[in-house]
Amino acid sequence: MKSAEMAEMMVDVEATSPAAIEATLLRLLAERSAGKALDPTEVARALGGPHPDGWGPLMQPIRQVAVRLAAEGRLVILRKGKPVDPTAFKGIYRLALSAEGEVVEGPGSSSEDLPVTQ
């Protein structure tokens, strides 16, 4: 692979800072209809591009930001459509905005949504 191609595939470090991840995650959630959950790979792809080499390494930093935001009460982490403890969940998850301290559940975590694997 040529160095130009490698440079194109590399992820911009500033674009993947916790602040950039948080901003992208919250923007994507805000763009959803009420109650619709977000697949974390959508955040990763928005930041790292369509190739797995670009977005794959972002999954753990996105998870860390999501856990922090959930602990702050700004979003809810869902497994199988149910809210989970942000410090103790494993596996496939989705993200939803919390509404004035209430958990947002519903259509975003239906079977028509594709799961995220980690």
Where along the chain do its domains lie? 3-109
Amino acid letter for position 6: M
CA angle, 83 as apex, 79 and 85 as ends, to 5°? 95
pLDDT at 28: 97
Class of domain 3-109: mainly alpha
pLDDT at 12: 57
CA nearest 63: which of 84, 49, 82? 84
Cα dist from 86 to 24, 33, 66, 76, whole Å? 19, 23, 8, 8
* 38 dihedral zone (left: phi>0; alpha: psi -120 to 50; beta): beta
* Cα–Cα distance measured from residue 10 to residue 116, given in angstroms and rounded to the nearest whole number: 22
pLDDT at 7: 45
pLDDT at 16: 84
Low pLDDT (below 50) residues in the chain: 1, 3-4, 6-9, 100-118
